[in-house]
Structure 1
Amino acid sequence: MTQGDPTPDNPTPPTSSRHVPVLKDRCINLLAPAFEAAIAEGKTPIVIDATLGMGGHSEAMLERFPTLHLIGIDRDTEALALAGARLAPFQDRTDLVHAVYDEIPRVLEDLGVDEVHGVLMDLGVSSLQLDERERGFAYSYDAPLDMRMDTSRGQTAADVVNNYSEDDLVRIIRKWGEEKFAGRIANRIVADRARQPFSTTGELVESIRAVVPAAAARTGGHPAKRTFQALRIEVNEELSVLEAAVPAAVDALALHGRVVVMSYHSLEDKIVKSVFAAGSKSSAPLGFPVELEEHKATLKTLTKGTEVPTEAEITENPRAASARLRAVERVRRAV
């Protein structure tokens, strides 16, 4: 049993000790000018934490800005419960909502909110989901092959590996996992499931190990890493959700409001970069003599490319190592 696991003498540790928010200070410093501008105008600043998780970023924002109102969104009911306990001292300034973050427009409509001053997205799998073995996100120990962020609905990873065609398995493992041995892995999965359907992460890991060359594993990390990423993305429809969520976040912003997004692999970052870049440049036709107001950029980029964690931050929280941060500010309302 690893240190920190609950026992009769060692009860479940508080959420604050289980979760170290990635790039916390940088995220809040990027959002702060938008909150301060709203306060200066006599308004209540409103922020959406679109991937609430265990509430570490939200807690820090609520502590720093005493009039800030938080809308916390998460599809994981367990995360909502833990975050709710953590944010209980601020319950009069919070609305916690069980939803997926591409549902921002519906959430705001339900709450009667027209616009917000900040949106934070911390993408990918959360510390809670990785640490709870029975969720099946991790390849490092045996668990039910689930991987759903919302365990109340949807197909599991076991459904995918047991029911998808070999061609579809190749497609998702290659596309979502960027795995060069996708063909070998899919072929082995199909052969193994014909003898007995997969039910645990350990069974899947053994099938992958059998066909990924040892040399590749030595240089590319755990041989199941990319396949597990692909399955997680497929099960939770992460990239299609993100493609809708980032524009929705931008559309929800008040003038001078800001969106901050942390991504953890190139597929996520590519989507975020595309939306931010499109809003940050003129839409005037090439060669057009005058840039009309409706052609001017609606967004201003706040980060130079992507920002990455410092060595000190990675030492404190190794899971931050792959984080890539981008941020924009709304500088003009779309016509």
Structure 2
Amino acid sequence: MPSLQETPCLRKERSVPSLMWNVTLALCTLLVLPTVYYGWRPLAMAFVTVALCCLAEVAVCLVRRRTIHSDPSLLVTGLVIALLMPVNAPFWMPAVAALFAVLVVRAPFGGTGCTPFNPAAAGVAFVTICWPERMFSYVSSTIGWVLPVFGDCTYMEVRSPAGVLKEGLKPDIVPLEMLWGRFVGPMGTTAMLVIGACGLFLVFRRIANWEAPVFFLLAAALWAALCPRIACSPLTSVKYELMSGSLFFCAIFMVTDPVTAPRTAVARSIYGAFCGALVMAFRHFGAYEQGACFAILASNAIAPLLDRAAGAVRVWGGKIVES
């Protein structure tokens, strides 16, 4: 496994641990509101996914007889998987997603900096296909601290705004109220203001580039305005689409992944726009209320082609500029 300082798919001016620890810090802030609303269960789920990611990586290193390195990117993978789960999900489901992410998507390609597909997106997509009814089952955010920390949750299920939109209906909640995360959905994706603050933090710290998430959101907003799924104004459609489901979370924490995203600014812009449009296509025509992880994986597949095309255009123009 390549050392953390020599990963071929990341920029060399910043160390991988520095990047990953900053992203980990941002992700940890998204556990605060779910813990306030639901109790200790979100923290326990995050601990399980992170621990399993680390243990799976250790097992891979032992089998391959390689040195075991501390790798903060495993923390990011585990936290992203946990935050994309409903808080009432049985613990074996995020556990399967974490093991799939490391053993199937990450390890075969060489580990940190070498994975062509986002491991967390692949893990979540896998459990979504296998157990969609559990993946999109939610309990009310007003239920309080009555959820068991590790046991199964059998409380009355409610529909998320994304699920209501999938049925062509208008959610009961007002878009302004969705800013604070007091509605159901994947437990780390509902606090819009916190996610936005994390995005600004990552961009200003130069941990993430701005092109991909901005063009991602612009493409999704344009689609929502031109083709609303409910009878409402274009602006209201944009608000509901951007703030429901995992779209905004994926724009900040997954589209910006420096390993699987393109390396050049132009390619990142096209990549973000393509991914944003694909997310909306999955919402309109897909089988599930959320398809962001599938859109991420499909966009990962064309990222090298976009870099190659952008490089060819620069060479053809007689001007080579490294972004």
TM-score higher than 0.5 here? no
> So what's the TM-score if we normalise by structure 2?
0.31
Q: 1 or 2, which has the higher helix percentage?
A: 2
Who wins on radius of gyration, i.e. which is larger? 1
Q: 1 or 2, which has the higher strand percentage?
A: 1
